[in-house]
Every structure is written in C-alpha cells, then in structure tokens.
Structure 1
Amino acid sequence: MTTLSAPASAPSTRHGGDIIFAIVNYTVFALLVVLCAYPFYFLIINSISANDVSALGDVRWWPVDVHFDNYRQVFELNGLPMAAVVSIARTAIGTAATVLASAFLGFMFTQKRMWGRQFWYRFIVITMYFSAGLIPVFIVMKTLGLTNNFWVYVLPFIVQPFFIILVKTFVESMPESLQEAAELDGANIVQVFFRVYLPNMTPILATVAIFSAVAQWNSFQDTLIYITDQSLYTLQYLLYMFINQASSLAQAAQNAGGDLSGIVAAATSQTPTSIRMTVSVIVILPIIFIYPLFQRFFVKGIMLGAVKG
C-alpha cells in the first residue's frame, strides 16, 4: 500500500528585485536620517569646539579642541536661568491644561444627551478657519489683564480644536458598552470620564501632549507681543534676542570672563557664532530628550484617532 506524503515546503527565497529594493530602501532612509540628524550634530560640535575655529566655519564633521566653557558662560548671561524656569513652567502647566481640556471636551462631544452638542462642537471647530487678527486679540488680552502676565502663556491655548477633534474621534472608536456598564453601576458622567475613559485614552493623550509641549516650548511670538517684563521672558524669546544681539553679548561674555591669555583666550572667548550655537543647543535639547518618551504612543494615537469603526 502506497502512502502519500505532503511535499516539503520550499525554503523561502528572495528574488534579486526584492534584494535590490531593500538595499535602495534602507539606503534612502539612512540618508534621510543623516540629513535630519546632521543639523543638530552641527550645532553641538560647534558649541563645544574652539570658538576661534568655529567662528571661521571650519567645524563641519567633528569637534576641534573640545571645551565646555561656552555653556558655563552662556548660563551666566543675564536673564537666562529665569527664562528657563518660565519656559519649563509654561510648557508643563500649559500642556497639562491643554491635554485635560481636550480630553474632557472630546469626550463630552460624543455624548448625545449633551445640550447643544452639535452647535458647540461646530462653534469650536469654526475657530480653526477664522481669526479676529492680531490687534483685536491684543486688545482682548489687554482688557482681560493678561499682558505682562504669566497666564497669557497658558489660558489662550487651553482649547485647541484640532486636539479636540482627535480625542473625539478616538473616543468614538471605543465601545459604548464601557459607559453603559459604568452607568449601570451608578457612575455619573464625571466618574465615567475620569475612571473609565481617561485611563484608556493614553495613546491619543500622549499624542496631544507632545504636540502641545513642542508648541509651548517653541513659542516666542506671544512673548514678543504681550510681554515687556523681563522676568517673564522665555528661552525662545531670549534666543531670538541673542541671535539679533550676538556680537554685543559675545563682548559682554568676554568681559565677564576675566583675563585670559594667548591661544586659550582665542579658543574660549565667546564669539557671535558660539553664542548662537550654544543657546540653540540649550533650547532644543529638552524637546529632543522628551520626544522619545512619547514617540511610542504617537503613531498609535494618530491612527486610532483618525479611523472610526
């Protein structure tokens, strides 16, 4: 009696076209990574290289005569430590307020029993397309007493229509049985939000948080428009000022650094280029370190918040 055996599965092989495609694909992405990373690398190596060499533009691929005096001297510039405190505070408080408001409003706009739900949702969304303009907004801020006030960095940015839309779409993708079960157990609408939905919104809230934090940290125009009190200046606004006044700041840093001699003086004395590079690194490093912490939620939050059903 003859027995039939199943043919052995052929080992998977990759065709020459697949291999070529993979090589080209990885090469292109590697080049894109280098193009994106090089500007940050360029800032860092210029900020720690000999200032006389950096000022000539001769630092391109690796640092020359490494030293860290630039950072010590830049932190001694007037107003920088306080500006760092203001920037950190506005980013932390502003991001937390924006995330909480976006989560609650996005959740509430999914509640069919909410009075005037469609009207209020459209009322918020329409602000994405129309603006009163700079002068009317400034008059409103001044009337509300927000000029030369720390809260001008926080209050105007709490309600963000784009973030609310993301959260609303995300909540709509969650099963309604979660809310029904909680209400059967006697939970009211606030308890449903905080105990049931909020803990399950981590991907979309992380996405909103990183968008909001980057926007808060990088913003300087609100300081330029609403603030004249130097104690409320932000790091980004100081960077803007330092870039415009780099020559005079370099001279001030040199005067404050005491007497140096010979090659050491040329290598460590502040120049306009060293001021620009060092302050730029100080301003961008916090976001570079924070972004990877939220990146794993980023794609998941965007995808779940963009597809319903």
Structure 2
Amino acid sequence: MDWKDRLFHTINYTAFILFALICFYPFYYLFISTISRNDFVDLGKITFYPIGIHFQNYIDVFKLDRIGNAALVSLARTVLGSAITLLFSAYMAYIFTKNNLWGRKILYRITIATMYFSAGIIPKYLNIKMLGLMDSFWVYIIPGMISVYNMILIKTFIESLPPSLEESAQIDGAGYFTRFFRIVLPLSTPILATVALFAIVGNWNAFMDTKLYINDHNLFTLQYILYEYMNNASSVAATIISQSDMTLLDSMTRVTETSLKFTITMVTVIPVMCVYPFVQKFYVKGVMIGAVKG
C-alpha cells in the first residue's frame, strides 16, 4: 500500500469516525443529562461526562400516574400492530407479483395513489366513528393493517426471488398460501426485518391517533401520556417535588422541568435503541435490495 492509499484510508476513517461521533453524541448527552445533578444540567455544566450520578429522574418518571398501564397498551399495540401490518402488507405484495391477477396494474396504481392523495383528517375521523372504533383498542390496529410503502418494498424484494422456486412448489401441488408461507416469507427475511423495524418504530412513537380517537384513559399509550407530561413539564415537576420527601440537601436530585423533559425523551427512545441492533444486519440488506428496482 503506497502513501496515497494510506492517506485515502486515513481521511476516510477520520471522516467516518467524526460522523459517527456527531450522530452518537446527542444520545450520549441526553443520557448523561438524565443521570447527572439536575441543578448542573439546568446551568449547562454537563458536556462530556456525568456529574453526581443518580437515577432519581427515572424513578420519578416511572412513578407518574398511568405510566404502567400506558406502557402495556403501547407494548400490545406495537407487537400486535407490527405483526399484523407485516403479514398483510407482505401478502398484498405477494398478490401484486402475480401476473395472472386480473386488473393487477390498475389495482396496483390505485393502491399507489393512496400514498399521494388523502381525504384528510376530518373524513378519516368520521370514518373511524362510523366503524365504531372510537375509544377502542382496535383503532390502533385496523387503520394501519396495510402500509403501501412497506408493500412496495416487499413486492420489489419478492420479484427478485428466483421464479423457479415457486414453480417447483406449484408442480408439487403447493397452493398460494403454502408457497407464500413456506417459500416466500422464509426467503424474505431481510426485507421483512426492515419493514418490521419501520412498523415497530411507527407504532411505538405514534400518539396522534390516541389524541384524536381515544377518550378512555385506560387506552392511552405511553407516548401520549409522556407527550402530555412533556407539555406540562413545569407543573408535573412541581407535583413530583410536592409529593416527595426531599430536603434542601437533595437539591442535586430534585427534579426540574429540564431534567424531566430529558428523562421522558430518553424513556421514549430506549426501546427502539434496544430493538435496532437485532435487525441491523438485515436492515441494510433489505433497504438496498428494496431500492434496486420498483
């Protein structure tokens, strides 16, 4: 390796390391701010390392009203909603790969058009109301059963699979469902992992449907509860302080509006950060294959 190659690789590695640090630092800063002295956080003295490490902020957040029930609702919504979206979007994509489907091109174009044109919030609200989904857990599941964008990604991947695999199974007497579940789905793991990540993040972070369609407090999602607490951080912080046994000596851990907002933000991103490493190896491959043709 000559000096030009070494210089090239040095510049590349330096650039990538700097870029990685720039991407990583906001999460790192957010985390160290949640475990540092709250008075120092308010004064902006936390930069590269935590000071006065404590976990009282997390204890205070998880003691807030309705957090436990909201977390269960969000978990159920994320798991069930993502699984159903994945299954129905994948099957719809599989159907659109069949050339013998009558009106396939027209139906596909109509489906694609729904990505660009929408009736708006009011018609959707009225539709949800007429379907009897108001104040129902299923309002989190049914409207998002099929994602057109995810369907396009999966369809593109399925079209890249060798047709001979399905043809061989068809000769052996396998029907559409058998071929779909036993051949297509197992071979589509990369794109399914990618779509699953999209669905999990989308379902976990969603709160607008709760705001629009849910009045029952028992059906509030964690994101909506935290959204409310975030918007009323000062009053929530005051409530936490009034209900605690803290003295003036505990000023370093006394919750503040800033520390509460930081901690709430961290609580919302931790689950997604935990899921991503498990699908990362499939994610890149799935996105690249899904982008080859469409």
Which residue is 2:39 aligned to?
Answer: 52
Q: Paired residue for 1:286, among 271, 285, 289?
A: 271
1:90 and 1:119 map into 2 onto residues whose CA distance is 33
CA–CA distance in structure 2, aligned partners of residues 273 and 122 of structure 1: 48
Give the drift of 1:308: 5.2
Match of 1:105 among 92, 102, 115: 92
Measure, in 2, the Cα distance between the counterparts of 1:238 and 1:33: 32
Give the letter aligned to residue 193 of structure 1.
F
**Which deviations, in whole Å up to 9, do the C-alpha atoms of 1:130-149 show, x marking residues without a partner?**
00011111111111112221
Equivalent-residue separation in structure 2 for 1:234 and 1:42 (angstroms): 26
* Alpha-carbon distance in structure 1 between the residues aligned to 2:76 and 2:231: 25
Other-structure match for 1:23:
10
Match of 1:246 in 2: 233
Calculate the TM-score normalised by the size of structure 2: 0.95
Show the counterpart of 2:66.
79
* Alignment pair present for 1:159 and 2:146: yes
Distance, in Å, in 1 between the alignment partners of 2:42 and 2:219 is: 31
Which of the numbers 241, 250, 262 marks the counterpart of 2:248? 262
Report the AA paired with residue 247 of structure 2. S
What percentage of aligned pairs have identical amino acids? 46
Hey, what does 1:5 align to over in structure 2? none
- What are the equivalent positions in structure 2 for 1:106-125 lying under 5 Å apart? 106-125=93-112
SS in structure 2 at match of 1:268? coil
Moved over 4 A (4+): none
CA–CA distance in structure 1, aligned partners of residues 10 and 62 of structure 2: 46
1:303 aligns with 2:288: yes
Q: Aligned to 1:267, what secondary structure does the other structure show?
A: coil
Q: CA deviation at 1:263?
A: 2.3
Q: Is the 8 A contact 1:102 1:159 kept in 2?
A: yes
SS in 2 for 1:102: helix
CA distance in 2, matches of 1:263, 1:42: 26
Gaps of at least 5 residues in structure 1 are: 1-12
1:209 equivalent in structure 2:
196
Retained in 2: the 8 A contact 1:50–1:268?
A: yes
Letter in 1 for 2:204: W
Partner of 1:197: 184
Q: Deviations over 1:198-239 (max 9, x none)?
A: 111101100110111111111122122222222222222222
Contact preservation (8 Å) 1:108, 1:114: yes
Contact 1:173 1:307 in 2 (8 A): no
* Cα 1:50/1:308, change in 2 over 3 Å: closer
- Report the number of matched residues: 294
Q: TM-score, normalised by structure 1?
A: 0.91
Q: Does 1:137 align with 2:133?
A: no
